[in-house]
Structure 1
């Protein structure tokens, strides 16, 4: 744990099929040590993660994985999520990891982050993990988490009400909140909006790691944005 960099807390917001999962997968394919809270089993079906369906199975899988591993806890209950946060924090202490928390709205509340989830995001970041939380609407995430996130990745919002909420919360012009699939912006508390762009599949057929051609991310000028292994674009200034 000595000399570890500060961790990264990323919140991804957007409706289903908006493109936020495309961005998240671009991170996942660049790192080898990941544990995910996976209510829908998507990481198991689509990305080949090792499936754990009980707390005992999760403990066993993490205990036997000292190095790289991709492990998914397929569970939906709030107490399972709290347990996940506790053991993921401990696993990260052995070696830095990516901790993915899908569908936060189902297992947390919009008040102050509490329980083991609160400990993970308040104390765990000092131990250097990359923590990624996903929600469909800005109203579903703790306001303190938004303001303390390293960055917020915002994809499509379906309604004007939802766009207005997240725009007012983060002081972003509502017109800039994406209303189309595969459009996105990223925001930090220090700099506000740091980049806006879209996901481009049509010009990326040479990437072998995605069966139908890997996505490329481009800003509004068409310049390619390069994902990194710490969950941010290499050529964007975040602070």
Structure 2
């Protein structure tokens, strides 16, 4: 019997580039996303420990053992390591051989500007960004600074999410990507947790993150 291929060329690109200053709601948006909540296979680069409720590893050896034990099976874990480019590339090198089109995976990358450059992507991060789609991978990648985020990933992302940005430079950069005016980006209301979401070449849509409160509050 022929070995089943790990690749399915018909799979869509579902990567999300999630951009916003600290406190803009990036992590909340990710946590509420169906690709996060419903994923049977979820692996998170989480240097700041933002994703509580998912099994946590703080050493490479423990993380590696968990990944090898899971193989192409179910897994929901996060790695909390020092955010260096070398550590992130190691993380990507472990994720890459776990991918299989028949076993879709969601990968979350927090604060990518800290661990990726604007030039040519490192080997395994580049594989995930450019080729992961046909192996069933969806990346939810977040960054505070769009201009410092890896351009390979930003160009490959099917969805672009833009929250509050504090600098004119960042606002101008994202206004171009989102096909919006600078005034529209600058007017996003932090207190209302407003954002814009753009899918492919479609017009950006404005949204708002809402939070449940206790009854009577």
* Short-chain TM bin: 0.7 to 0.9
CA distance in 2, matches of 1:62, 1:30: 19
Shift of 1:205: 6.8
CA 1:40–1:188: 2 relative to 1, 3 Å: same
Please state if 1:89 is matched with 2:100: no
Answer whether contact 2:162 2:174 (CA < 8 A) is retained.
Answer: no
What CA distance in whole angstroms lies between the structure 1 residues aligned with 2:23 and 2:140? Answer: 18
Contact 1:55 1:80 in 2 (8 A): no
SS at match of 1:123: helix
User: Is residue 180 of structure 1 aligned with residue 186 of structure 2?
Assistant: no
**Structure 1 stretches of 4+ moved >3 Å:** 1-4
| Partner residue in 2 for 1:6 | 12
- C-alpha displacement of 1:64: 1.7
User: 2:80 aligns to what?
Assistant: 74
In the TM superposition, residue 130 of structure 1 has moved relative to its aligned partner by 1.1
**Aligned residue in 2 for 1:150:** 158
Aligned to 1:54: 59
Instruction: Give the deviation of 1:5 after TM superposition.
Output: 2.3
Aligned to 1:136: 144
Deviations 1:118-158 (A, max 9, x none): 11111122111111111002112123432321111111112
Q: Is the 8 A contact 1:147 1:189 kept in 2?
A: no
Does the CA contact (< 8 Å) of 2:56 and 2:80 recur in 1? Answer: yes
Report how many residues are paired.
201
1:200 match: 210
Assess if the C-alpha contact under 8 Å between 1:52 and 1:73 holds in 2.
Answer: yes
The answer to whether the 8 A contact 2:112-2:150 is kept is no
User: What is the CA RMSD across the aligned residues, in angstroms?
Assistant: 2.2
CA apart distance, 1:34? 0.5
Distance 1:115 1:64, change over 3 A: same
From 80, 95, 101, give the equivalent of 2:109.
101
Length-normalised TM-score, structure 1? 0.76
TM-score by length of 2: 0.83
Residue 169 of structure 1, CA deviation: 4.2
Alignment of 1:117-136 (within 5 A): 117-136=125-144
Q: Which residue of 1 aligns with 2:43?
A: 35
Q: How far apart are the structure 2 equivalents of 1:176 and 1:114?
A: 34
**What secondary structure sits across from 2:78 in the alignment?**
strand
- Paired position in structure 2 for 1:224: none
* Structure 2 residues without counterparts, runs of 5 or longer: 1-5
Change (3 A) 1:20 1:80: same
Aligned to 2:70: 65
Give the whole-Å Cα distance in 2 for the aligned partners of 1:7 and 1:60. 29
Q: Deviations over 1:95-122 (max 9, x none)?
A: 2111111110111112232321111111
